[in-house]
Amino acid sequence: MNVNQYNKPSSGEEEALSALQTNAKAVMVIAQAVEGTLGPKGLDTMLVDQFGQVVITNDGVTILELMDVNHPAAKMLINIAKAQQEEIGDGTTTATILAGALVNEGVRQVRKGVPVVKVIEGISLGIKKAIVALEDKAVKITELNELILRKTAQVAARGNEDIAELVVRAAILLGKDKFFEPSFKLAEIIRAVAGAENQVVSGVIIDKEPLNLEMPKKLKSVKVLVIDDALEPEEIEDEALGTEAGFTRYLKYQEEFRQNLKKVVNLGVGLVLVDRGTHDLAEEIFTDAGVMVLQRVANKELRQAAEFTGAKPLKRTGLKKEEKELKQFLGKVEEVYFEEKLKHVCLLGGKGQPKASVLVGASTEEVVGERERIAKDAAAAVQAAVKGGVVSGGGSIELALAHELQQIRQEAQGMAVYGMDCVIEALKQPFTQIVFNAGFNPLEKLGEVIAAQIAENNHALGINCDSGEIVNMQELGVYDPVLVKKHALKAAGEVATAILRIDTIIKKKEHVSSNNLQNED
């Protein structure tokens, strides 16, 4: 039998390889869309919609979310980037580039004759080993005022020192323990505003104006009521309202509502925060009593305000409680004021949990979105650094991990070593792209840095993107959070494995409704 004839793929194998190559091309297109943004010399991307609206950004997940994408494999990669953003808040570009490289290398190995299952086995083992090695190299953050944390924030903020400083100040204000609360995300307290000055507020900012112009703009030592509902009387059905009994019930509800509102006034409440709308009667009574009312407050802001003031949210029916019992649901703040220029309300000196709000100034509306994205990335990086420590950045740590995997690749059984090779090559990609974006020859610098890391036994060595010289990235102040790297590796491994498993692409038939089926019968 002819050897070439023996190695020739069957029609089924050709179909599987075709599916792999198709998916790999789609994934690489997505990776190429964001790779130019990586590193300190990364450039921005302009996205334009059908109406001519423009977004200019350096943020990987924003680019991916706004791209017009139809290919299912490409969508899988975008979804994994979104998951990375949701879980960690940073590292989506790295995760995307790693995934693209893993898929590309995986397909290359399959074309050489390595079974897909063995490639996947080796990738899974390689990712697992790389994560263990990564965690071993973590530098722990013990104090929030450490220079390392500021440097980490600055790297994530793309060199914007003002934003990095704001984020770290907010972190110090909140305290280290806050970062380990499961539901807390530092990025959620960030808000960019055109015309604002950079500011860290020791309190909560609510993006609302008082209900009307007659309500007070500033209050001191204020009791706070939070209504997690509409501030309206109990509802009655329209049909029932047309009957005598129904109309009597309507009048009863109106009177009960009036008495409940007066009860709130008697308790000395000065600020009422409402989740939904506010009835005209409530607006009239509270305006006359000098109470500030904010309606349709975003759920996130309502929750933060309740925690900060110590208030317990109530439904509208909760206002029926006796004054003595209702008093237990009130919160308190030392000061409330309406910032007329920025159109928001600030709460300061709450008796509940400590809170901080970061205002990031922006010169124009066009740059507000990008300034906010940068600040949120910095906040996510700071929180990840506090929780899991940091490692040297600039792609240096990935090169060190690649070298360690190279040393232990034989731990993979049989042909799974080729899957391990996929991880080794993928780990070189972030460094290669950073160096390329800085204008240097990536192959030349790759060889130089790997040789230097081995010779000096120093995993922190990388390239200064200004000079092209080999430097200690930690001494240069370039750090990345371990959790960002760890989740990027896991996410890339998961999506690459999922895509490599696909050996057939079948178009689904059009959805057939039950009515169509009945008509056919």
**Do 333 and 400 sit in the same domain of this protein?**
no
Torsion sign (Cα): 463, 469, 475, 478: negative
Number of other residues whose CB lies within 10 A of the CB of residue 189:
25
For the chain, the domain total comes to: 2
Average pLDDT, stretch 7-17? 52
With cut-offs at 50, 70 and 90, classify the pLDDT of residue 503. Answer: low
Q: Return the HEC string of 405-447.
A: HHHHHHHCCHHHHHHHHHHHHHHCHHHHHHHHHCCCCHHHHHH
Please determine, for residue 32, whether its predicted confidence score (pLDDT) is greater than 90.
no
With cut-offs at 50, 70 and 90, classify the pLDDT of residue 59. Answer: confident
Q: Quick one: CA torsion of 123, 126, 128, 133, rounded to 10 degrees?
A: -160
Q: Are 490 and 95 in contact (CB under 8 A)?
A: no
Please determine, for residue 3, whether its predicted confidence score (pLDDT) is greater than 50.
no
Query: So what's the pLDDT on residue 239?
Result: 64
Q: Write out the E strands in 145-247.
A: 190-194, 199-201, 203-206, 218-227
Q: What is the per-residue pLDDT across 402-445, written as a single tens digit (0 to 9) for each?
A: 999 999 988 888 999 999 999 999 999 999 999 999 999 999 99
Query: So what's the pLDDT on residue 242?
Result: 61
**Do 207 and 129 sit in the same domain of this protein?**
no
Q: What is the per-residue pLDDT across 372-406, written as a single tens digit (0 to 9) for each?
A: 999 999 999 999 999 999 999 999 999 999 999 99
For 333, phi then psi, to 5°, come to -135, 155
Q: Quick one: CA torsion of 186, 192, 196, 202, rounded to 10 degrees?
A: -10
**Do 22 and 133 sit in the same domain of this protein?**
yes
Average pLDDT, stretch 156-168? 93
DSSP-derived 3-state class of residue 297: coil
Domain that holds residue 235: 203-355
Helix (H) or strand (E) holding 242: none
Q: Write out the E strands in 207-282.
A: 218-227, 269-274
Q: What is the per-residue pLDDT across 329-355, written as a single tens digit (0 to 9) for each?
A: 999 999 999 999 889 999 999 999 999
Average pLDDT, stretch 127-155? 95
Query: So what's the pLDDT on residue 115?
Result: 92
Q: What is the CATH number of the domain that holds 70?
A: 1.10.560.10
**Do 220 and 326 sit in the same domain of this protein?**
yes
Query: So what's the pLDDT on residue 504?
Result: 59
Would 164 be classed as within a structural domain?
no
Please determine, for residue 7, whether its predicted confidence score (pLDDT) is greater than 50.
no
Specify which residues 222 forms β-bridges with. 333
Lowest mean pLDDT among 84-88, 306-310, 481-485: 84-88
Query: So what's the pLDDT on residue 6?
Result: 31
What are the Cα distances from residue 70, in Å, to 27, 98, 518?
12, 21, 33
DSSP 477: T
Please determine, for residue 301, whether its predicted confidence score (pLDDT) is greater than 50.
yes
Would 163 be classed as within a structural domain?
no
Q: Are 335 and 219 in contact (CB under 8 A)?
A: yes
Helices (H), 310-395: 323-326, 365-388
Torsion sign (Cα): 492, 497, 500, 505: negative
Q: What is the per-residue pLDDT across 209-250, written as a single tens digit (0 to 9) for each?
A: 999 999 999 999 999 999 999 999 887 666 666 676 766 777
CA distance 395 to 41: 13
**Do 213 and 268 sit in the same domain of this protein?**
yes
CA distance 339 to 10: 72
Average pLDDT, stretch 63-91? 81
Q: What is the CATH number of the domain that holds 211?
A: 3.50.7.10
**Do 29 and 131 sit in the same domain of this protein?**
yes
Would 145 be classed as within a structural domain?
no
Please give the structure tokens belonging to residue 100.
């693209």
Would 197 be classed as within a structural domain?
no
Query: So what's the pLDDT on residue 515?
Result: 53
**Do 81 and 220 sit in the same domain of this protein?**
no
Share of the chain above pLDDT 70, in %: 91
Would 261 be classed as within a structural domain?
yes
Average pLDDT, stretch 321-334? 94
Specify which residues 139 forms β-bridges with. 390
Would 361 be classed as within a structural domain?
no
Q: Which residue has the tokens 């009994």?
A: 245
Half-sphere exposure of 202 (CA within 13 A, CB side): 12
Q: What is the per-residue pLDDT across 81-121, written as a single tens digit (0 to 9) for each?
A: 888 888 787 888 898 999 999 999 999 999 899 999 999 99
Query: So what's the pLDDT on residue 13?
Result: 55
CA distance 316 to 276: 11
Helix (H) or strand (E) holding 299: helix 299-309
Would 196 be classed as within a structural domain?
no
Exposure b/e, 407-440, CB count within 10 A at least 16 = b:
eebeebeebbbbbbbbbbbbbbbbbbbbbbbbeb
**Do 292 and 237 sit in the same domain of this protein?**
yes
DSSP 392: E
Would 367 be classed as within a structural domain?
no
CA distance 291 to 302: 17
For 445, phi then psi, to 5°, come to -70, -35
Share of the chain above pLDDT 90, in %: 64
With cut-offs at 50, 70 and 90, classify the pLDDT of residue 9. Answer: very low
Q: What is the per-residue pLDDT across 146-157, written as a single tens digit (0 to 9) for each?
A: 999 999 999 999
Query: So what's the pLDDT on residue 1?
Result: 29
Query: So what's the pLDDT on residue 84?
Result: 81
